[in-house]
Amino acid sequence: MPTALLVVVTGPLASGKSSVAEALARRLRQRSRRVAVLDFDEVVAAIGGFADLAPADLARAQIVFGAMVRGWWELGVDVIAHGPFVSAEERASLAAALPEGAVPRSLVLRVPLEVALERLRGHPERPVAHHPELVAALHERFDRLAADLPPSEWTFDTSELDVDEMADRVAVALGVG
């Protein structure tokens, strides 16, 4: 059995992390690979979401997310983990959960703030869609912290490339395209 893949997708709010992760998962599944797509936002949603999230609860969510990544990967399932892993602390919490031998492959997505706001207008069910000032602040935070991200294998501006094209490029580079 081939070693399971681990792809970590990060990017600012509304950069397309979920869309790219799902498109990549489809490519891998077409090659008969078992794939778990794990969204950090869903783990946080399980405890009430980001609104008024206490730092201790955020830390707990990071532990749970890391355990999910590790669990699937140790079972030989490819993992595509996506979320806001931009600060050193966020990256460290994920790295601490990884088993020995896991080599995460890094995909960073970028998107101009104006494009992110337009995308969110199309999804009024997302609570953050109604708070453009929060979206702007989160994008500013991402841009500031992204300067310290380790080099990524792939960086895409999702306003310039189609989701399927990004997934195809990553799948080919992973040797499963």
What is the residue extent of each domain of the chain? 6-173
Residue 159: its pLDDT value, please? 97
Contacts of 99 (CB under 8 A, 6+ apart): 70, 73, 74
The pTM assigned to this predicted structure is 0.94
6-173 classified as CATH 3.40.50.300: yes
**Could you read off the pLDDT tens digit of each residue along the chain, which spans 177 residues?**
568 999 999 999 999 999 999 999 999 999 999 999 999 999 999 999 888 889 999 999 999 999 999 999 999 999 999 998 999 999 998 899 888 878 899 999 999 999 999 999 999 998 888 999 999 999 999 999 999 999 999 999 999 999 999 999 999 999 997
Residues 16 and 75: their CA atoms lie apart, in Å, by: 27
